[in-house]
Amino acid sequence: MSEIIEALTEKMTANIEAFKRDLTKIRTGRATTSLLDGIKVMAYGTPMPLNQVGAVTIPESRMLVIQPWDTKLLPAIEKAIFSSDLGLNP
């Protein structure tokens, strides 16, 4: 019986964490850097998180600015944003 409870507890904890991540992606009219957390950019032959190929800032409440550390990655960043299906415009 305790094995079942332990397994359910682990599954519930994982579901709660996934739900929390999903809540951060809800659009509230304000830009947050967490909107870009799931975006992977093909950089140097490997998929990398967007925040590892450039700096992400929020200059205005409805605007995110991505400044890549290597400008050659701009096309890959743009492609990753378009294919993310978040409705963002680079």
9-15: average pLDDT: 95
Whether residue 90 is contained in a domain is answered as: no
Element (H, E) at 80: helix 74-83
Distance CA(39)–CA(27), nearest Å, equals 16
pTM of the model: 0.62
Domain interval for residue 43:
2-83
Task: Say if residue 80's pLDDT is above 80.
Answer: yes
The angle formed by the CA atoms of residues 55, 26 and 63, to the nearest 5 degrees, is 40
Question: Sorting pLDDT into bands at 50, 70 and 90, what band is 48?
Answer: very high
Residue 62 lies in a domain: yes
Residue 77 lies in a domain: yes
Q: Give me the CATH number covering residue 50.
A: 3.30.1360.40
Q: Compute the C-alpha angle 30/27/12, nearest 5°.
A: 125
DSSP per-residue string spanning 26-71: S--SS--GGGGTT-EEEETTEEEEGGGTEEEEEEETTEEEEEESSG
